[in-house]
Amino acid sequence: MDLITLPNGARLLLNPVPDTRIASLGFFWGAGSRHEKAAENGAAHFLEHMSFKGTRRRDAACLAREADAIGGQLNAYTSKDHTCYYIRCLDQHLGRAADLLCDMMLCSRFAQEDVEVERGVILEEIDMYEDTPEELCAERLDRAVYPGSSLGRPVLGRQSTLEGMTGAWLKEWQREHYRPEVLVVSLAGSFGQGEVDFLTQALSALEPGPAPKAKPAVYTPAAVTRKKAIEQNHIIWAFPGLSYLDERRYALILLNSILGAGPPPGCFRRSGRSGGCATTFTPPCPTTRTRGFGRSTPP
């Protein structure tokens, strides 16, 4: 594996994998909902959506058509800690795929009419989460144990915060947060020097500068319940956890397995099988850079 660190701070990781014809390319930005102020909640996720709505060279249909034309799988996700955009395809099409993804990352259009459409899509997504009890349960827990912190706020944001976001505002949020010092571009599989040179040149164009840092979050014990007319109750029992920088995280993953993530041990055997009720147990795992918490989630 090779790491190239560019003068502006952007990092390019190369992992050639022999005997494959697949290449996978991802942009990992250290900008998620943790990096939002309260009034900005949902910006990182909104930005992710807008990246698929067109660039200076391609409209949204063109982006989708070009990805389809090479059999590429183009997608993205936003988390509390980071946002990732990726594409994978046959190696012979990697040049086109890299050009497409770089265009999305560096030259998004942020047209106001697209913002209005996408805001509606995200509001639908929020409603969908409201209808997904396990997600609702987790979101309420986050809010309760990290009160007033960005870590306690939902990745999708809220209607009240999303309503104020315009194309120009999102573009500025991107400029402030998508800095090369918090960018890792990861390329794995089958690729050549030409694609590496293209990426190096494209990333070098990024304007250097400090990216906003997330504030530390303080865990506060809490108990919250929400009445909802569904057949099964969803319960999360949480403990203060470890940062995923903590060396004990490997032990924690083993503890996770012992408590019930794996087959028959611990709680699953005792509460699930012998108790005769359907229960799954998802115990502690390192969940965030600063500090996560464990959850037991019986659906």
Partner 1 sequence: MNRDQEGQALAAIRDTAARLAQEGPTQEEADRAREQACAGAAMSLETVQARMNHQGSSLLLQGRVRSLSEILSAYRQVTREQLRDLAGAMLQFDKASLSAVGRVSPPEFYVQQLGLKDISGKNRAH
Q: Which amino acids are annotated catalytic?
A: 48
Min separation Cβ 168 and partner 1, Å? 28
Binds partner 1 by CB under 8 A, chosen from 47, 151, 185, 211: 185
In the region spanning residues 251 to 270, those forming contacts with partner 1, defined by CB under 8 A, are 251-255, 257-260, 262, 265-267, 270
Binds partner 1 by CB under 8 A, chosen from 141, 162, 202, 285: 141
Our finding on whether 181 is near partner 1 (CB under 8 A) is no
Min separation Cβ 256 and partner 1, Å? 8
83 contacts 31 by C-beta, under 8 angstroms: yes
* CA 127 to each of CA 120, 123, 130, 194, 270: distance values in angstroms, whole numbers, following the listed order: 11, 6, 5, 45, 35
Instruction: Specify the stretch interacting with partner 1 by CB under 8 A; choose among 38-46, 120-128, 164-172, 240-248.
Output: 240-248
Q: Residues 145, 147, 152, 156: is their CA dihedral positive or negative?
A: positive
Pick the closest to residue 285 from 247, 259, 249 (CA basis).
249
Nearer Cβ to partner 1, position 60 or 106?
A: 106
Our finding on whether 140 is near partner 1 (CB under 8 A) is yes
Instruction: Specify the stretch interacting with partner 1 by CB under 8 A; choose among 55-63, 102-110, 161-169, 183-191.
Output: 183-191
**Burial of 170 from C-beta contacts in 10 A (0-12 / 13-18 / 19+):** buried
Min separation Cβ 50 and partner 1, Å? 21
Which pair of tokens denotes residue 295? Answer: 């959850």
* CA 298 to each of CA 195, 237, 240: distance values in angstroms, whole numbers, following the listed order: 46, 9, 19
In the region spanning residues 69 to 108, those forming contacts with partner 1, defined by CB under 8 A, are 81-82, 84, 86, 88
Residue type, 270: R
In the region spanning residues 6 to 65, those forming contacts with partner 1, defined by CB under 8 A, are 11, 13, 15, 17, 20, 22-26, 28, 30
Helix axes 112-130, 43-50, angle to 10 degrees: 120
Our finding on whether 136 is near partner 1 (CB under 8 A) is yes
Q: Return d(Cα 51, Cα 83) in angstroms, integer.
A: 12
Which residues, in sequence order, are CB contacts of 79 under 8 Å at separation 6+?
A: 32, 33, 155
Our finding on whether 126 is near partner 1 (CB under 8 A) is no
Our finding on whether 184 is near partner 1 (CB under 8 A) is yes
Nearer Cβ to partner 1, position 166 or 220?
A: 220
Nearer Cβ to partner 1, position 56 or 227?
A: 227
